[in-house]
Each structure stands twice: as structure tokens, then as C-alpha cells.
Amino acid sequence: MPSPYIPNTDQDCATMLRDIGAGSIDELFQDIPAPFRDVPFHLPPPLTELELREKLNRRSRQNASLDNYACFLGAGYYRHFVPGVIGHITGRSEFYTAYTPYQAEASQGILQAIYEYQSLVCQLAGMEISNAGMYDGSSAAAEAALMAGRITGRKNVAVLSSVNPRYREVIGTYGRGQDLTIHELPPDFKGMPNESACLVVQQPNFFGYFEEVKRCAEIAHGAGALLVVIFDPISLGLFPPPGSYGADIAVAEGQPLGNPLNFGGPGLGIFTCRQEHLRQMPGRVVGRTTDAEGQTGFVLTMATREQHIRRERATSNICTNEALVALAATVYLAAMGKSGLRRAAELCYHKAHYTAEAISKLKGYSLAFKQPFFKEFVIRCPQSPEKINRILLKEKIIGGLDVSHLVDNGMLLCVTEMNSRQEIDRLVSALRAL
């Protein structure tokens, strides 16, 4: 059976085998001890493009795709507006069929795009330098903790309990390898554990409200620890960037910057820090240089920090990252520009507050926290959030995250510019009708 993906014809194979001097393909596999070779594989029979398109179209239609629902779920992954232009650019095959740009002269496009990404992310976060991106926000946070450990030579890591629990778990996973001890601090913490490498805070925090980050910075720095901030990139259209309140390392999940949800992946770990920590920074970085004729060009640089040069003494093992997602974020930030990003943040802010107010006026519902918030907030419900969500679903509404294990009957709701007033009003009526 000829395959669209294997262009060698039988004739080609025969010629090539002859030129190689092999009697058969099998001869090429002689190094593999016979008992291991050509064992049976129990796999489904091959299907053609036509069949698989149909099968997977049906399969995908079983999922409640959010373009057909009102969605109030956030908690780290957000449905923000994705301008159509982004897909057209990430869909340029010169970008998406390339490998990591090891050969700079053939890769100026992606290299410059990453350089622009690094620049835009620094502008956004108010930080000095950025790498080319990591896997996701949580692993970036974990790498930040590891980096703080390397910089300070300390083994304790303090994390506020208001940090996204999943992020705390990932910090724990990575920390275990380095024998870091993770300390969970309450929101009203007064001081740092002894010999802490860093304090990790999330702004706005998992429950959606703003931390007193300046106080955190003072306490952390006072104890010789670094401040690691996990930020919401969209919030920075309206609220102060981590660089402005003393973050030494600032990380984020970059998915909201022009990327669909994709069931949570691929995402993008934004990773920024102070210039002085460059040599301890994990991940790839692109630098500007010149060519033999003096023209500007871009290259991967500072590779001596990385695993492929420094091996076991590298700053991280990361190799493949999320370049295409970073490209999307680059186009997003350029498309929105300063006014667009501010507008996005404002829309989120006002719509979330409109929603929160309307719900908290309903009998039996109340806001769990009174601190200022951005686009997420926890509502205490009159019954279990899980039950409520099941009822909302019938109205084509995906409700908020059930956080009843953290807040009594708590539901973490998220409202973005994607939620029209009509959707919000539908949610409120549905909750009222419950």
C-alpha cells in the first residue's frame, strides 16, 4: 500500500538497498537480536484521512466546546479573546515546521520573533530580562524556586497558601529532586522560615484577590530571600507589574496571551528575572548580534548555561520549549498594543465586578473575600458548587471551579471580555432560579 508520507517507491527501495549492498531491509536491522525483532504490535488498523477526520470530528463534538457555552471557569487557564490574525501567523509553515533555531542564518524569522517576545514580555512585566519561554506557568514557577535555591544556596522555599494549589504541587515535585523543603505560609504571615531561598506569591492570587505584594517583598528581601511572583499577564494591562514592586523573578502562564485553551496544553511558561541573574536563568535565550557584513541578526546565546553544553551542571534540563505559543503571545501583544491590553484588562475588571455584585445580591450567595480583585472571585453558595454546576450545565453554562475544599461551598468564578452581559445575566438568573 503506498503511503502519502513515505515517498520511497518499491523501485527506490530496491535501488537503495542495492547501493547499500544489503539484500533486504531486514539486513539493516541485524544488530537487533532476533528474538526482539518483528514482534507483533496490537494496534488498530490504519485509517485514511477521510475516515479519521470523520471519526475525530465526531469525537470532538462529544466535548462541550466553549464557543457554544457560556464559560465562567478560570483558575489559571483563561478564555481571553484570540485575535484571528494570530493563527494566520503561527500557521506560516516556515515557523511551525522548523526546529529550534540552531542554525541562525536559516532561522532569522523565528530568532527575531523570540527576541521580540523576550522584549515584549519584559515591557509587560516591568522586568529586565526574559528567557525564550518554558513549558507552562507552573513549571516556570518551579524552575524559579530552583533558581532561587541556586542563587542563594538555600534549601527552604516559602510559598503563600493563596498560590494556585496546582502550582504549589508542581513546585513540590521539582523541589523534591533538589531536596528543597517547601513551607506553606498563611496570607497574614509575619516572617520567613529560616534560610529561605525565596518567597513565592501569586498576584492576583488563586482566589482572585490582590496580595499585599509590597509587604511580601519587604519581608522576603529582609530575610535575604528572593521574591518570586506568579502574575496574570492580562491583569498587567491595568495593574502594576511585578518589576515595580520588587520581584526578582516573575513567571506566568502565557496561554491567555492569544492562545486557545487546548484542554490546558500547550501553554507557555513566561520566565523573567533581573539582569544580574542571567547566568542562573534556565532555558533558552536569543541575543542580537551582527553578521560578517555588519547587518543585524539574531542567535541563540548564553548557551553555556544550558544542558546541551553544560550537561549535569546546566541551569535546567529544558530543551524543547513552547516556541510557537511564544510566537502567538508575541503577535498578541503587538496586536493589542498598549491600549488594547488595557482595554482587555478593563473589560475583565468591570464585567467581573458586575457579575460579583449581581450574584452577591442573590439570596444565599456571598463573596468569600472582601479584598479587591481583578477578574476572579470566590462565591459562597447556598449548596454544593458541584450540584450547582450540574444544573448550570443544562442551561449551557460552564460554572466556576469548585473550591469547597478550601472555602465552604466556595465556587471560584472567572469573568473575562469573552463573557457578554447577556451571558452574565443568564448565569445570574440561573443561580437565582436554583
Partner 1 sequence: MKKNKHYLLPDISRPGKVGCQLPELDVPAAELPPREKLRQELTLPEVSEAELVRHFTSLSRRNYGVDTGFYPLGSCTMKYNPKWHEDIARFPGFQDIHPYQPADTVPGALQLMFELQELLAEITGLDATSLTPMAGAQGELAGLLMVRAYHRSRGEDRRRKILVPDSAHGTNPATAAMCGFEVKTIPSNGDGNLDLKSLVSLMNEESAALTLTMPTTLGLFDPRIAEISAIVHERGGLLIGDGANLNSLLGKVKFGDLGFDCVQLNLHKTFSTPHGGGGPGSGPVCVKAGLADFLPSLLVAKDKKRYQFTSPPITIGRLGAACGNFGVMVKAYTYIHSLGAEGLKEVSENAVLNANYIKEKLKPYYHLPYDRTCMHEVVFSGKKQKARGVATLDIAKRLLDYGFHPPTVYFPQVVEEAIMIEPTETESKETLDAFIEAMIEIAREAEQNPELLHHAPHNTPVRRLDEANAARKPNLRWKMK
Ligand X SMILES: Cc1ncc(COP(=O)(O)O)c(C=O)c1O
Choice between 341 and 411, CB closer to its own copies: 341
The DSSP output letter for 225 is P
Q: What residues between 223 and 252 interact with its own copies by CB under 8 A?
A: none
Tell me, what amino acid is at 281? M
Q: Please report where in the chains the cell 509590597 appears, as a residue.
A: 214
387 in contact with partner 1 (CB under 8 A):
no
Choice between 54 and 224, CB closer to partner 1: 54
> Considering only residues 144, 156, 174, 198, which one is a binding residue for partner 1 as defined by CB under 8 A?
174
Binding positions for ligand X, rule: CB under 6 A: 319-320
Helix axes 137-152, 165-177, angle to 10 degrees: 50
Residues 6+ apart with CB under 8 A from 243: 125, 126, 127, 128, 250, 272
User: With contact defined as beta carbons under 8 Å apart, do 414 and 378 qualify?
Assistant: no
User: With contact defined as beta carbons under 8 Å apart, do 212 and 175 qualify?
Assistant: no
Choice between 182 and 192, CB closer to partner 1: 182
> Considering only residues 215, 288, 361, 387, which one is a binding residue for partner 1 as defined by CB under 8 A?
288
Q: What residues between 17 and 56 interact with partner 1 by CB under 8 A?
A: 17, 19-22, 25, 27-33, 35-53, 55-56
207 binds, among partner 1, its own copies, ligand X, none (CB under 5 to 8 A by kind): none
Grid coordinates standing for 414? 472567572
Strands 226-231 and 376-380: unpaired
Q: What residues between 35 and 54 interact with its own copies by CB under 8 A?
A: 49-50, 53-54
Choice between 310 and 350, CB closer to ligand X: 310
- Closest approach, Cβ 372 to partner 1, in A, equals 5
What 3-state class would DSSP assign to 71? strand
Identify the sign of the CA torsion 302, 307, 311, 313.
positive
388 binds, among partner 1, its own copies, ligand X, none (CB under 5 to 8 A by kind): none
Part in contact with partner 1 (CB under 8 A); list of ranges 154-162, 187-195, 220-228, 262-270: 262-270
> Considering only residues 162, 225, 246, 317, which one is a binding residue for partner 1 as defined by CB under 8 A?
317
CA distances from 252 to 159, 167, 169, 232, 269 (A): 15, 11, 16, 6, 6
What is the C-alpha to C-alpha distance for residues 47 and 53, in angstroms, rounded to an integer?
Answer: 10
390 in contact with its own copies (CB under 8 A):
no
> Considering only residues 23, 70, 73, 192, which one is a binding residue for partner 1 as defined by CB under 8 A?
73
- Closest approach, Cβ 224 to partner 1, in A, equals 24
Choice between 91 and 372, CB closer to its own copies: 91
Element (DSSP H or E) covering residue 202: strand 196-203
Part in contact with partner 1 (CB under 8 A); list of ranges 155-163, 190-198, 237-245, 360-368: 237-245
Identify the sign of the CA torsion 169, 170, 171, 174.
positive
Question: Of 361, 430, 327, which Cα lies nearest the Cα of 98?
Answer: 327
Q: What residues between 107 and 136 interact with partner 1 by CB under 8 A?
A: 107-110, 112-116, 118-120, 122-124, 129-130, 132-133, 135-136
Give the count of beta carbons closer than 10 Å to the beta carbon of residue 330.
25
Q: What residues between 391 and 430 interact with its own copies by CB under 8 A?
A: 417-418, 420
Question: Of 335, 333, 326, which Cα lies nearest the Cα of 96?
Answer: 326
Q: Please report where in the chains the cell 494566520 appears, as a residue.
A: 88
Using CB under 8 A, count the residues that bind partner 1: 212
229 in contact with partner 1 (CB under 8 A):
no
What 3-state class would DSSP assign to 382? coil
- What does the binding site for its own copies look like in residue numbers (CB under 8 A)? 2, 4, 49-50, 53-54, 57, 61, 67-68, 81, 83-84, 88, 91, 93, 335, 339, 417-418, 420
